[in-house]
Structure 1
Amino acid sequence: MNSVDLNADLGEGFGRWALGDDDALLGVVTSANVACGFHAGDPSTMHRICGAAVERSVAIGAQVGYRDLAGFGRRRIDYDLDELRDDILYQMGALEAFCRVAGGRVAYVKPHGALYNTAAVDEGQAGAVVAAVRAYDAALPVLCQPGSVLSRLAAGAGITVVGEGFADRGYRADGTLMPRSLPGAVVHNPDEVVARAVRMAVEQVVETADGELVPAPVASICVHGDTPGAVQLATRVRAGLTRAGLVVEPFRP
């Protein structure tokens, strides 16, 4: 690889409640996964983030999730699959409206939280995500974990799949993310986070919690915007990627 995308989840406040420093992160990342109102994000926040992202040439992705404000979208919900498809369609359309007002567009789709993890292994929910994207705009890429059920179904439906790696999350031996309830699920050491990001981008592998290396064919690296020191961490990750000889820019499907 000679280039890599750096993404973060943004716009995850709601009403008077704020989460993370969106404006500062928009000066570091190249893609913004913007909450669409179901797990977080209100209309005014979406409006503001889309405008700022367009001004800074940051790609905008629809970060679609469960209808779960109270649980921040991190609790699995066993949806009726048609209802899940329609909820995803609704979220994409809402964000697209604010993108259009700002002079931009939704450039990709990324599931959030429990939907991301469930669609990685569950054919029903992965199929609902794929059905929503195909119905809305089959040219939209899906940002997801390489080798997941979602990546397989999306590719099978003719949708571009962009592999994503998590610099600040622990991995299991099968290449899936460790549940946040387990020790080591979140990597806190900044030096380790930077090293993991560079290794994924350059070598296309990631070290698991057991010390093994597993394939990680990724084109985008995620740094979570809701962790303490997220801006400083993202800045260090970007600097590390640049030192490794990579151009940090939005992914090009």
Structure 2
Amino acid sequence: MNYEMNKRYFDLNKPGMKWPIIVIVVGVILLLSMSGGGKLVGLLVAAAGVAWIVLSQKKYKESIVSDIQYDSEVAKNLENIEERALNKLGVDKDEVSEIEPINISGFKYQGCSRVKRGDDKFFRTDVYESVTLFFSQNEVHCYKLNYNTLEKKQTESTDVYFYQDIVSVSTASQETEVTDSITMEKETVNYESFDLRTAGGTSLSVAIRDQDQAQRSINAMRALLREKKTRN
């Protein structure tokens, strides 16, 4: 990931207009009050102030990172996620082929330090999490990745759930309050989460970014769970 680019996404440092405007005003005063060569000096000073503003605005616009650019950078850390997950879990792909692997991911709204409401009205943060599930004959193998988008910092964890121990697989509507890093105003974020719970009290939860794809995957997982529980 390009961490410097990601940082710019959350930093709206608009160029200050105070000093360029002062330069323009001084130039105009010289232009109106002086004669001969003084007018030329005033014109040059005013022109310098205008050029200052134009160049500052150009540099500012070039530094802006769009929602699409930020999303693209964030997604780079999920490349080859299934292969990485299998290596971390220590299982072969042939061992976990009951159904296709499931990956559910989204921005994390708890424990993040930066939040921004994009032009598409969607809230993005500086923390992203991903859960990848694999299905063997008797177990669900889980790989969870949590990473920061502004610095090289991430955590990984693995777990295994027996089908018979899973008591619920569901989606839930969540609501949390965040502070927009640009406006510094309190905002309410509504999002969907994927939740898995076991009879032993273990729970797994992750925010859902792509709801349509996630729902299809969850439905396939539910069907497999029903089949496994019916057999036993």
TM-score normalised per structure 1 = 0.21
Looking at CA atoms only, which structure, 1 or 2, has the larger radius of gyration? 2
**Which has the larger share of helix?**
2
TM-score normalised per structure 2 = 0.22
Higher relative contact order (CA 8 A, sep 6+): 1
